[in-house]
Amino acid sequence: MKLTRRQLAAVVSVFPAVGGFAAGIARAQTEKPAAAPADELQSARERLKANSDLLAQQQVPMATEPAFRFKV
């Protein structure tokens, strides 16, 4: 399956939103109301690390169009 960078960005941005919404509803019914700021920071770092690892596994050929154009 070949994806451009724009298509890959669209796919990556859609799945967390959809999955996060459903998971958020389930979590709201089972978890305590609020976490400590340190816990939120740690979980945000873990999510960022997991997402960066997932993106690093994707093969993007050099011929793929850039996300922007340089204008002179």
pTM for the full predicted model: 0.39
Give the per-residue pLDDT at 49.
Answer: 95
Over residues 12-30, the pLDDT tens digits come to: 777 665 555 555 655 655 5
pLDDT digits (tens, 9 = 90+) for 23-57: 565 565 555 556 678 888 999 999 999 999 998 89
Contact 71, 12 (CB under 8 A): no
Local confidence band at 3 (pLDDT 50, 70, 90 cut-offs): confident
Rounded CA gap, 66 and 8, in Å?
Answer: 12
